Chains A and B, each alone.
Chain A
């Protein structure tokens, strides 16, 4: 999953590498599944959710998005 954090946009590379360092090792199985699911998004879907310019409308992603927004 760490390799899935290599993205097309530098902004996402930076946020995701911070996320890996701060949160990844503490995720439980359900959170890991949500995170993996989220990583399947396109960069231009993911980045607006993280920078807050677009709301995250998938309820089960919201916890991960909230953590990513702090990174």
Chain B
């Protein structure tokens, strides 16, 4: 079958043109490698655009700072699940990648003396947690947007070859496991091509659309993560997802914490101000995790709002209309548009909302994808690299600090690019022959979609998946719900094998594209649910009702049994574990010793 498919040959193919993909591409193109970048959407419409906060770097322009403090904050933020060699690498590279970006024309905010202005951000500190530090380099509230434009322009200058509106479908490997490139669909024509390359870099971003309530754009369907899983690459630490307590129910758009700061009150289905029971002192102003857990407990115990009792209400009707119009005009606009209620007159339906994926395709700090092989937990897969939210280096561990995500994609996008260039120059990368049947799996997937009869609707399956994930593997997790969730998600995954589309046209067939995206999402959903059910402790963003704070297990964390990374394998849905790399990269850097995570 594969003989029918057009073949294109490159030194390297990069899938994804957000921050990580563009940063990697730049490294390759400037080194003279023939590089193809595939993207479902125009590069500057990648979800990196939505990142507002900034990029962390210990430049010390406004307050004293150094990378040792940044490393401590990141390890602590990760609840000690982050690999300390990768974290050391990232924080030590931070200044370099930020200054490079400045030279590419990134319009950072400035201090009076012309240096990059830095602002404080949650979780970042001076002196190992003693006081807040100003570490975030930002371009107003559009840092991701400005970054993407600067990187795109630089790539155009470097003659990177873009394949825009191409969707990668499957990762290609030979019998020895070497990665040979990808198959991809040109959305405009419906034609499938093989992108045959010496090196393949995945930079496909997050997969937040597995949840019913998600801040992620529709494009965040975990394409790289799904492709890797189907090709036999295990997924690491997929149980760890960052949530925000107040997204508009049914839409996901964020309602800023400032609303509760202005006096907003959370109410359950009975109109009760339930936070008084969970946090008698701070009430609605308790920390994100406490508020999220309380909301979920209300919903799970049948005290939610709406016909499905699946959300709670954020009430600001007691504030005067003048205050709302003056201090919260944007929130009023969002509520009217996305919840259909004017918060002056009625409360806003809200629910904890998925925001960021900490796990992903396992890599080392060089951006090489690593798997357990030959007795080594971290053996590189020849020809395969990954960076950004789709990858797990692992720098965020069980919980990511704000502004470390843009840093992650710059540092590891560049590192993956550098690794390819180094391997290329050392003669370690060659164009390995394509097996005759290399594209058969892709063609069989497409053929099944063409011919499926009496199948399931893509929308129905996606919704079932999203509802299952939201209820059974949300921000607060319950032993019995997780168990039930595994059964449910496997059933949904069964239905996903028989999706059917009405529109069979070849050109710009969005129904086909959405069915293919669902194939990727479902891999991520299974990985998340199975990994979460198995991890019998609370750590970072993974919080279980049966692993609570005790003197022996602070915050429910069990380092004796669970200080290890999860690896989920798609083929037979089994789990393995590998040790956390607690030793920093450099022999003269002291490891950050285990401690209780408190702020």
Mark A residues whose CB is within 8 Å of B: 2-3, 6-11, 13-15, 17, 42-44, 51-53
Q: Is the CB of A43 within 8 A of B187?
A: no
Q: Is B109 an interface residue (CB 8 A)?
A: no
Interface string of B516-553 (1 = CB under 8 A from A): 00000000000000000000000000000000000000
> Looking at the complex, which of B38-46, B366-374, B461-469 is the stretch in contact with chain A?
B38-46
**Cβ–Cβ < 8 Å partners of B128 in chain A:** none
| Choice from A3, A7, A10 contacting B165 with Cβ under 8 Å | A3
> Quick one: which of A10, A15, A51, A52 contacts B50, CB cutoff 8 A?
A10
Which residue from B45, B165, B508, B510 sits with its C-beta under 8 Å from A8?
Answer: B45
Which A residues touch B513, using CB under 8 A? 3
Bound Cα distance A6, B145 (Å): 16
Contact A10 B45 (CB under 8 A): no
Q: By CB atoms of chain B within 10 A, which of A8, A42, A53 has the most?
A: A8
Q: Contacts A14-B251, A14-B338, A44-B49 known; A6 to B41 CB distance under 8 Å? A: yes
B333 part of interface (Cβ distance < 8 Å): yes
Interface contact A44-B41, CB-CB below 8 Å: no
Q: Which residues of B, 44-63, contact A by the 8 Å Cβ criterion?
A: 44-50
Most buried by B among A3, A15, A17, A43: A3
Contact of B253 among A6, A7, A11 (CB under 8 A): A11
In the bound complex, how far is the Cα of B253 from the Cα of A13, in angstroms? 11
Q: Is the CB of A3 within 8 A of B510?
A: yes
Docked CA distance A48–B34 (Å): 39
* B48 in contact with A8 (CB, 8 Å): yes
* Nearest Cβ on chain A to B16's Cβ, whole angstroms: 13
Given the complex, which residues of B lie within 8 Å of A53, measured CB to CB? 330
Contact of A6 among B45, B215, B330, B338 (CB under 8 A): B45
Within 8 A of A (CB), among B387-446: none
- On chain A, the residues within 8 Å of B253 by CB distance are 10-11, 14
Given A10-B217, A15-B337, A43-B145; 17 other pairs, CB 8 A cutoff = A6-B45, A6-B217, A6-B218, A6-B219, A7-B41, A7-B218, A10-B50, A10-B214, A10-B253, A11-B253, A11-B334, A14-B338, A17-B218, A42-B44, A42-B145, A43-B49, A52-B333
A-B pairs, 5 with minimum CB distance: A8-B49, A13-B218, A8-B45, A10-B217, A2-B510
Q: Does B142 belong to the interface (CB within 8 Å)?
A: yes
SS class of chain A's interface: helix, strand, loop or mixed? Answer: helix
> Closest Cβ of chain A: how far from B156's Cβ, in Å?
16
Q: How many residues of B contact A (CB 8 A)?
A: 30
C-alpha spacing A53/B165, complex, angstroms: 31
Q: B364 within 8 Å of A by Cβ?
A: no
CB distance from B565 to the nearest CB of A (A): 30
Point out the residues of chain A lying under 8 angstroms from B357, CB to CB.
Answer: none
Cα separation A9 to B217 with both chains bound (whole Å)? 6
- Give every chain B residue within 8 A of A14 (Cβ-Cβ): 251, 253, 338
Question: How far is A17 from B217 in the complex, measured between Cα atoms in Å?
Answer: 12
> Please, how many angstroms separate the alpha-carbon atoms of A53 and B49 in the complex?
19
30 chain-A/chain-B pairs, Cβ below 8 angstroms:
A3-B41, A3-B508, A3-B513, A6-B41, A6-B45, A6-B217, A6-B219, A7-B41, A7-B219, A8-B44, A8-B47, A8-B49, A8-B219, A10-B215, A10-B251, A11-B253, A11-B334, A13-B217, A14-B251, A14-B253, A15-B337, A17-B218, A42-B44, A42-B145, A43-B45, A44-B142, A44-B145, A51-B333, A51-B337, A53-B330
Query: Are B508 and A2 in contact (CB-based, < 8 A)?
Result: yes
Chain A CB within 10 A, most for which of B45, B165, B187, B330: B45
Chain B residues with CB under 8 Å of A3's CB are 41, 165, 187, 508, 510, 513
Q: Kindly supply a per-residue 1/0 record for chain B positions 486-523, scoring 1 wherever the CB is within 8 Å of any chain A CB and 0 otherwise.
A: 00000000000000000000001010010000000000
Chain B, residue nearest A2 (CB) = B510
Q: Does B136 contact A (CB under 8 A)?
A: no
Q: Is B216's CB within 8 Å of the partner chain A? A: yes
- Docked Cα-Cα span, A21 to B478, in Å, equals 38
A10 to B252, CA, bound (A): 8
Nearest residue, chain A, Cβ from B188: A3
A6 / chain B contacts, CB cutoff of 8 Å: 40-41, 45, 217-219
Assembled-state Cα–Cα distance A7/B508 (Å): 16
Complex Cα–Cα for A44 and B143 (A)? 12
Q: Kindly list chain A residues whose C-beta atoms are within 8 Å of the C-beta of B338.
A: 11, 14
Within 8 A of A (CB), among B219-264: 219, 251-253
Shortest CB–CB separation between residue B426 and chain A, in angstroms? 37
Q: How far is the CA of A6 from the CA of B219 in the complex (A)?
A: 7
